[in-house]
Structure 1
Amino acid sequence: MAKTKAEKITSIEEEIRQLENRRRQLVQEQKAQERKDRTKRLCRRMGLFESLVPDTIPLTEEQFKTFLEKTVMTDHARRILDGLTAQNAPTAPIQGAETAAQGNTPPTAHTAHTAHEGGAGGSMNGGGLQG
């Protein structure tokens, strides 16, 4: 039996509503996965950090924040980070596909001073941050 134009319109509008609901559901699932991935990454990284610097465990949140600001935000630490992110830059398209599949985002390259510093981030002076 042939549908009238009004029935076709109603059918298409219902299909549109279903697709919009499905899109909302997929966006919600994507956000939930991103939250789970971020939580997992934060736990892994802080676990590694605490295993490398166990003296930070008893610090208060404010003391820990001060410690990070004074150690991580030094010029030496920035050069190390810039060097590491610059190493990732040539492989970003390959890693981007892998990390997208895992729900992780690739690191952002900070190359503001790496070009003229000649790979200063290659060594961490025996593994420690010394500035």
Structure 2
Amino acid sequence: MTKTRTEKIESIQDQIAQLENQRKRLVQQQKEQERKDRTKRLCKRMGLFESMLPDTIHLTEEQFKTFLEKTVATDQSRRLLAELTAQGTSAALKNPTESAPHSNKDEGENRATAQG
């Protein structure tokens, strides 16, 4: 049975609506995954931070903010961050399927550099 032009238009409009709904679901899933990834990253990093500096656990939010502002604002910490960022970027450019190499030895050296 042949469809009239009106029926074809309605059919195509239904397909468009279905595809738009599918797009919305996929965007929603992507945003949800990004939120989960961010939460996981924040928890891991703060856990690492607190394990390295347990005295910060008892600071108030304002004290912690002040501590971070004063520590991160130093020229040394900015240089270190720039170096680490550059290393991560160059490693990602060399092999985009893998993240930058990571080892506990590197963390200890970086920690010593940041403290010294």
Pairwise TM-score range, normalised by the shorter structure: 0.7 to 0.9
Pair 1:126 & 2:112 matched = yes
- Once the two structures are TM-superposed, the CA of residue 72 in structure 1 deviates from its matched residue by 1.3
- Once the two structures are TM-superposed, the CA of residue 92 in structure 1 deviates from its matched residue by 2.5
- Once the two structures are TM-superposed, the CA of residue 98 in structure 1 deviates from its matched residue by 5.3
Aligned residue in 1 for 2:66? 66
Query: How far apart in 2 are the matches of 1:33 and 1:64?
Result: 29
Please say if residues 92 and 98 of structure 2, whose CA atoms lie closer than 8 Å, have aligned partners that are also in contact: no
Alignment: residue pair count:
107
Query: What is the letter of the counterpart of residue 18 of structure 2?
Result: Q
Query: How far apart in 2 are the matches of 1:33 and 1:40?
Result: 10
**Whose helix fraction is larger, Structure 1's or Structure 2's?**
2
Aligned-residue CA RMSD (Å): 2.0
Deviations along 1:37-65, one digit per CA (max 9) or x if unpaired, are 00000000000000000000000000000
Aligned residue in 2 for 1:19? 19
Give 5+ residue unaligned stretches, structure 2. Answer: 101-108
- Once the two structures are TM-superposed, the CA of residue 79 in structure 1 deviates from its matched residue by 0.5
Q: Secondary structure at the match of 2:2?
A: coil
Pair 1:92 & 2:78 matched = no
Give 5+ residue unaligned stretches, structure 1. Answer: 100-105, 107-122
Q: Secondary structure at the match of 1:126?
A: helix
Stretches (4+) displaced over 6 A: none
The two structures have a TM-score, normalised by structure 2, of: 0.83
- Once the two structures are TM-superposed, the CA of residue 5 in structure 1 deviates from its matched residue by 0.9
Q: Which has the higher contact order (CA 8 A, sep 6+)?
A: 1
Query: How far apart in 1 are the matches of 2:80 and 2:38?
Result: 23
Please say if residues 50 and 57 of structure 1, whose CA atoms lie closer than 8 Å, have aligned partners that are also in contact: yes
